[in-house]
Amino acid sequence: MSSLKAVTGVTPDDYSSGGEPEKYGIMAQLYNLQKASSFKVQGVIEGKNVITLIDTGATHNFIDEELVNKQGLNTEALSGFRLKGVDDSSIKCNRKISNLRIMFEDYELNDEFYVVNMKDTDVILGFRWMKSLGEFTMNLNAMEMKFESAGGSVVFRGICEDGTSESGTRVVSLKRMESLFRHDEVEWAAECFIMSANVSSFKAVAVLTGSEGVCGVVNFCQDVTGSTTVNAKISGLKPGLHGFHVHAMGDTTNGCMSTGPHFNPHGKEHGAPEDENRHAGDLGNVTAGEDGVAELSVTDSQIPLSGPHSIIGRAVVVHADPDDLGKGGHELSKSTGNAGGRLVCGVIGLQG
């Protein structure tokens, strides 16, 4: 029978933030929940106690720049890498540590960390680390995480309600996480994402109806990183490209015309899915073959199924013509992509 090791720490008293480094790193996933989605434990880096935030909203790991400098930790330079907020503001991240060792009592962690100026917390462990664990369970009400390691079962627990560790170290209130990632007048939003042993994603579906002979189904699945994968199959289309968007309203009382404009919570111009300046609902085109069938599978970070900018209750619309992705020079290019009439649409609803 494997031994049981408990790593005790502290719990925050409000909200948390997270991040996703790729070419751009997302430093906040917004989910507007009422309970904390993270907790803190105490680890050790080269003999120094460090406060570590375990955060289900962060897909990668981060370490405080001041801690790195004080400890003289070896880093690697990064080029062309930025941390990006949900409002599309960003700051540059210049360094990372490819293999940092942190001890949590008998449990040893070795992983990659991105160096950022966090001020009030030392380390954030995100989904990159969680994924390496394989199966694990997390009870956010009990502030407890369990997983198996080579040495046996490990339990991480957050235990102190007053924001202090057993050693008396003050831990940042997560009410202050909004200011935790401030740098060069960039203010990071900080809300939270919840994950448990039973809920690791959100799912939704839209059934497309409208023009005679055209129909389809669009499935959405949001994973724990906050990105949403869209799988669509539409039949009865004219061969070629057709604009494919999320529109702001789920109102179909006047057919697809009453679904409003493209979903655009940040007040941007129309663009391609890969553009920085785009509507959140800009998903580009679907391509119908000679048989009139179009299939699409794409993952996007701007169409969450939960939080203040959720697309639940909004509508998916397929257009008669190609979307010029804001680059066609037409008077409608920067608002609709000049994608023509609305063929079919469907309201996006949550699935159980």
**157 an active-site residue?**
no
**60 an active-site residue?**
no
In degrees and rounded to multiples of 5, residue 131 shows phi and psi of -60, -35
Looking at 245, 278, 300, 323, which residue is catalytic? 245
Looking at 262, 278, 314, 323, which residue is catalytic? 262
Looking at 270, 300, 314, 324, which residue is catalytic? 270
Distance from C-alpha of 87 to C-alpha of 75, rounded to nearest angstrom: 29
**270 an active-site residue?**
yes
How many H-runs (helices) and E-runs (strands) does the chain carry?
A: 3, 25
Determine the distance from the C-alpha atom of residue 85 to the mean position of all C-alpha atoms in its chain, rounded to a whole number: 10
Kindly provide the b/e burial profile for residues 236-271, where b requires at least 16 CB atoms within 10 angstroms of the residue's own CB: bbeeebbbbbbbbebbbeeebeebeebbbbeebebb
Looking at 242, 279, 300, 314, which residue is catalytic? 279
**245 an active-site residue?**
yes
Query: Where do we find the tokens 């919570």?
Result: 265
Distance from C-alpha of 140 to C-alpha of 73, rounded to nearest angstrom: 32
Distance from C-alpha of 346 to C-alpha of 80, rounded to nearest angstrom: 39
Looking at 122, 282, 300, 324, which residue is catalytic? 282
Task: Give the long-range contacts of residues 196-201, CB within 8 A, separation 24 or more.
Answer: 196/137, 196/138, 196/139, 196/140, 197/137, 197/138, 197/139, 200/224
**319 an active-site residue?**
yes
Looking at 60, 157, 247, 314, which residue is catalytic? 247
Going by C-alpha positions, the residue among 145, 200, 159 that lies closest to residue 10 is 159
Looking at 95, 157, 242, 342, which residue is catalytic? 342
Looking at 55, 319, 323, 324, which residue is catalytic? 319
**247 an active-site residue?**
yes
Going by C-alpha positions, the residue among 60, 12, 42, 48 that lies closest to residue 226 is 60
The beta-strand segments (E) located in 171-227 are: 202-210, 215-222
How wide is the angle at C-alpha 224 spanned by C-alphas 219 and 227, nearest 5°? 55
Catalytic residue annotation: 245, 247, 262, 270, 279, 282, 319, 342
